[in-house]
Each structure stands twice: as structure tokens, then as C-alpha cells.
Structure 1
Amino acid sequence: MRTGQLIKELRLKKGITQEDLASLTDISVRTIQRIESGEVDPRAYTLQSIAGALGVEYETLAMNEPSFGGATKEDTSKWLPLIHLSGLLILIAPPIVLWILKRDEVKDIRKHAVDVINYQLSISLYAIPLVLFGIYPILIALFIYSQVVIILNTIKVTAHQPYKYRLNIKFLKPYQEELSLS
């Protein structure tokens, strides 16, 4: 059973409306609707809030998350850190290749690949003037900084913790905008 369906069933068993759940959790009614319909997968803090309001354990909802394209949680735990680790190569090709190969199998791989690619492009852009003006000490510091950030973010992704690339310019968007015909 999908998480949204389980949330809806638990909500109905408690006899509360989507509006009631929204007010208990400080989550918008529209977000509750989108979660229950399966349009979006809720984030961990959203699940925690909903679980508290419904009087169930967080794990009850979290363990009910669907796998993506047949990939197991182990696949995700392996490929997402590898995408981040590929940033150490200072080449844009490895994250792109991994993204293309696993895009139908690993949930959120697009977001992670785009974050790594944006970071690599950003660091490269910052390095150009340093090379042109021969400011090698700062260039070396930038290189070391970028490698440390990549390693730390790989560790965070491996531990299923949120990560952040600082100094990142958003060249690519993590999610495609859906066009509406209305």
C-alpha cells in the first residue's frame, strides 16, 4: 500500500477530515490532498508531523514508502552516494552517465545528479578567473574546499541526512516543470 493511501485510511479511521489533519500538522490542505492522491511523496518531517497527528509511529508511515521503478532501498543507498562521490572527478560526465543509467530505477536520482552537476559547474566557474589571473593559492584552497564538501555530502547522503552544496549556482533545475494546457 502506498503511503498516501495509508494516511487516508488512518485519517478516515480517526474520523477527521483533510482540513482537520492540515490544522493539526500545520501542513496545507492541498499538500495533504497531494500526498493522499499519490501526486507527491512526503518528506520525513512531513511524515513525522502526520504520524503524530494520526497517533501512529513514524516508522509505520516511513516503512510504507513505495520503491521506485523496482529499485530497493539498498539500490538507492548505493547509487545516490555514488553520484555525489563522482563529483570528486571534476568531470560532469560521471554524474550524467549515472543519472541516465539509473533514472528509471533510483528515486530522487535526478535531484542528486543535478545538485552535483550544478556544484561542479559553479566551482569551475569560480576557478576560471583564479587561473586567468594566476591566483594559485586561492585556486588550491577552492579545490580542497570543493573536495571536502563533496566527501561530507556523500557521507550525509549515505546516512540518509539532508545535504547542501554551498556556493552553488542553479544552472539546472532539479525537477522538470510540468506544462499545463489550461
Structure 2
Amino acid sequence: MKNVQFAEQLTYQRKLKGLSQEQLAEKTKVTVRTIQRIEKGSVSPHLRTVKLLAAALDIEVDDLMQLNDPREESIETKWLLLMHVSPFVGLVLPFLNILCPLFVWVHKREDSPVYDSHGRAVINFQITMTLLYVLAFAALLTIQGFGFLFFIAVLPFNAAIMLVNIFAVIRHRKCYYPAFPFLGINHR
């Protein structure tokens, strides 16, 4: 698990600086293959390698090596839950299903690649669902019989997907939303 967290942080920081694996290898004198294996999470880097990577990325070693502080994990879980639960407000007030997680994502995306990837997934899904609501409403008005069923099915589908992902975040810190990548693909 620690290799995976380091791999995610290294990949995120490298992409944040706009570097390819090859460019990072040139700056650190660490082989491209080693960087690839570290970013896959298949190896644990030596402390010397970590220091070289941090120096090349112009960040602190602590930014790459995150210690598992239970308080920080608890805070991260709370932010992730807020990001995943906030779209439920959109069931009462239109477009808040997009605006609420968008606000949280904009506020937290720079803090961690986890916030960035989860935020993108939630917002992409909510935009997709909003477009689906519009199609369902058009079907309700134009297609007799099927239009009504389609319109009625969209809301429970949206709620079910959101609930499944909330539980996945609580248990595994993972999420999966079937959606079009309006905000681009996740960095993970």
C-alpha cells in the first residue's frame, strides 16, 4: 500500500511539473525503467532515490513520502465524503449536483491527487446525469410509454450510483462513476 501511495504522489508531482518520465530520469540520473517501476508501485525506492526525485521536482521529500497519520486520513475521508455526498443537494435544487462538488474540487484539487481524481469523477458523472435528465425529459414529452419509464428510471439510477460510490470511498477510498470525461481523465 505504501508503494502505491508513493507511486501516486510521484506521478502526480511529475505531471504537475509537466515532466515526462524520460525528462525526470535525465534530471535525476535515475533510469527511466526505475521511474516506471516506482510509478507502477512495483518497487519501493531507496531513500537516496527519493531525495533525488524530490530535488528534481523541486519539492520536499515529505511531499512524496506521506506518512499514514490517522488524523490526516480521517480528514481526507471527510473531504472525500463531502465531495461524493454533496451532489444529493441537486435532487432538491437543480444544478447544485454539479456546483457543490465543483466547489469542493476547485478548493481541494491541489492538495492531493486523490481529491483531484475523485472530484473529476464526481463532476463528470453529474454533468453526464444532468444531460441524461434533459434527454429523459425530452423523451417524456415525445415518446409515449417508454419516455415515462426512461424519465422515472434516471433518478434512482443516479442515486444508486452515488450511494455505491459513497460506500466504496468509506471502505476503499476508491470510486467508479460511468461518465463522459468532460474534465479530462483522472491523473491516477
Q: Which category describes the TM-score, using the shorter chain as reference length?
A: 0.5 to 0.7
Query: What does residue range 58-73 of structure 1 map to in structure 2 within 5 Å?
Result: 65-66=65-66, 72-73=72-73
- SS of match in other structure, 1:153: helix
TM-score, normalization by structure 2: 0.56
Query: What does residue range 1-182 of structure 1 map to in structure 2 within 5 Å?
Result: 30=32, 32-33=34-35, 46=41, 50=43, 65-66=65-66, 72-90=72-90, 91-134=97-140, 135-166=147-178, 168-175=179-186
User: Displacement of 1:88 after TM fit?
Assistant: 2.1
Could you say what the CA RMSD is over the residues aligned between the two structures, in angstroms? 3.4
Cα distance in 1 for partners of 2:33, 2:115 equals: 23
Contact kept in structure 2, 1:114 and 1:172, CA below 8 Å: yes
- SS of match in other structure, 1:133: helix
Contact kept in structure 2, 1:83 and 1:116, CA below 8 Å: yes
Deviations 1:107-138 (A, max 9, x none): 42111111111101111212222211312332
Structure 2 gaps of 5+ residues are 8-30, 45-63, 91-96, 141-146
Cα distance in 2 for partners of 1:35, 1:108 equals: 20
- SS of match in other structure, 1:81: helix
User: Displacement of 1:163 after TM fit?
Assistant: 2.3
For residue 22 of structure 1, what is the aligned residue in structure 2?
Answer: none
Structure 1 gaps of 5+ residues are 8-28, 52-63, 177-182
Deviates more, 1:79-88 or 1:141-150: 79-88
TM-score, normalization by structure 1: 0.57
Identical pairs, percent: 20
